[in-house]
Amino acid sequence: MKNKVTLELSATDYNLLKEIADACKWPIEEVIMQCIKCGMPPSLSKVPDAFHDELLSLNALSDRELMQVVDGKGAEPKGKGELYKKADFLALRRTYALSLLRWRGHPIEHYELF
């Protein structure tokens, strides 16, 4: 199922996208879709549903709070059951926080999580 979205672009943004589309020989719609896909926040499609709410709640944190999660500090996760241990939820949580920081524009070239 496809949904239609209408948006207004500045002349500068439109011209840049059009320039890229012409250079790639792609329709401008494909260039826009590629930009959206590359700029999307991290996906939870491969993460068990049981973790979605808790990971999505990280989106509300400030950059500073996310960095604390990445560094293994800050509030402890809610779940502590067997599924959390088996999935190494702490590492998953830290990785998701790091992905959010990258999505927000922070340069994350190399960061040791372990």
DSSP string for residues in 25-65: T--HHHHHHHHHHHTSPPP-TTS-HHHHHHHHGGGGS-HHH
Residuewise pLDDT in 10s, the chain (114 residues): 889 999 999 999 999 999 999 999 999 999 999 998 888 888 899 898 999 999 999 999 999 999 999 998 877 777 778 888 888 888 899 999 999 998 888 887 765 554
Position 25 scores a pLDDT of 96
Asked whether residue 30 falls in the same domain as residue 68, the answer is no
Does residue 29 belong to any structural domain of this protein? yes
Token readout for 89 is 């939820």
The reported pTM is: 0.72
What is the domain count for the chain? 2
State how far the alpha carbon of 37 is from the alpha carbons of 5, 31, 32, 42, 71, in Å. 15, 10, 9, 10, 28
Asked whether residue 58 falls in the same domain as residue 35, the answer is no
